[in-house]
């Protein structure tokens, strides 16, 4: 007969079944997270960098004139954006396909989120921190950057445009 290792902890067989069920579910969900982290490179962003959200316009990086796409020496791009009720600025970002893109986004007011459907680009934008996500976009097209954290009455109108152009066509930068 199957020797249940939980028997030492618990006499009741129905209770042991429920403990097994919850253990199996926990390992299954952990396995799913692990699988997608390894197979699809989907994992939570982990950048910790603080900033004074009330003075973004006075910083060099997040001043209005310095927002947008800039290219780095290694060929990758950095996209600097400000999230504020109710929009992402600049409101139109153009990047080429198959290029490393690092988004650096700061909130000027409250908690926002950003999500680009059908890609692995998603992160929370917590006031006081710089959110950083590095990804690349394999397919060209027009995508929406959507806010996915409730931030006030205009939350559902908070979005901007991400245009991914074919790399061979030489992506314009704005
Ligand atoms: Cu910003 Cu919801």
- Ramachandran region, residue 115 (left: φ > 0; alpha: ψ -120 to 50; beta: rest): beta
- Ramachandran region, residue 61 (left: φ > 0; alpha: ψ -120 to 50; beta: rest): alpha
Virtual torsion, Cα 121, 45, 106, 104, nearest 10 deg: -70
- Which whole-number Å values give the CA distances from 83 to 17, 96, 110, 112, in the listed order? 48, 22, 9, 7
Atom of ligand 1 nearest to the CA of 110: 1
pLDDT digits 0-9 by tens, 153-166: 999 999 999 999 99
Q: Nearest-CA neighbor of 45 among 125, 107, 117?
A: 125
- Predicted confidence pLDDT, tens digits, the chain (174 residues): 578 888 888 889 899 999 999 999 999 999 998 998 888 777 666 667 888 888 888 888 888 888 999 999 999 999 999 999 999 999 999 999 999 999 999 999 999 999 999 888 899 999 999 999 999 999 999 999 999 999 999 999 999 999 999 987 554 554
The three-point CA angle 77-68-150 to 5° equals 105
DSSP character at residue 120: S
- Ramachandran region, residue 50 (left: φ > 0; alpha: ψ -120 to 50; beta: rest): beta
Atom of ligand 1 nearest to the CA of 83: 1
Write down the pLDDT at residue 6: 87
Measured in Å, residue 74 CA sits from the centre of ligand 1 at: 33
Measured in Å, residue 158 CA sits from the centre of ligand 1 at: 6
| Structural contact between residues 146 and 115, judged by C-beta atoms closer than 8 angstroms | yes
Ligand 1 contacts CB of residue 109 (under 6 A): no
Ligand 1 contacts CB of residue 112 (under 6 A): yes
Measured in Å, residue 116 CA sits from the centre of ligand 1 at: 14
pLDDT digits 0-9 by tens, 78-96: 999 999 999 999 999 999 9
Write down the pLDDT at residue 4: 85
Ligand 1 contacts CB of residue 125 (under 6 A): no
Atom of ligand 1 nearest to the CA of 111: 1
Ligand 1 contacts CB of residue 79 (under 6 A): no
The three-point CA angle 158-130-75 to 5° equals 95
């Amino acid at each position: 007969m199957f020797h249940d290792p939980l028997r030492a902890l618990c006499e009741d067989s129905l209770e042991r079944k429920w403990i097994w069920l919850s253990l199996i579910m926990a390992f299954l969900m952990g396995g799913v997270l692990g699988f997608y982290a390894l197979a699809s490179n989907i994992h939570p962003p982990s950048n910790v960098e603080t900033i004074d959200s009330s003075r973004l316009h006075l910083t060099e990086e997040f001043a209005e004139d310095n927002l947008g796409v800039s290219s780095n020496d290694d060929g990758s791009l950095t996209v600097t954006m400000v999230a504020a009720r109710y929009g992402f600025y600049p409101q139109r970002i153009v990047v080429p396909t198959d290029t490393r893109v690092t988004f650096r986004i700061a909130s000027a007011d409250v908690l926002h989120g950003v999500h680009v459907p059908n890609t692995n680009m998603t992160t929370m934008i917590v006031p006081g921190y710089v959110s950083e996500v590095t990804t690349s976009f394999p397919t060209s097209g027009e995508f929406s950057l959507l806010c996915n954290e409730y931030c006030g009455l205009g939350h559902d109108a908070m979005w901007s445009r991400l245009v991914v152009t074919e790399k061979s066509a030489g992506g314009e930068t704005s």
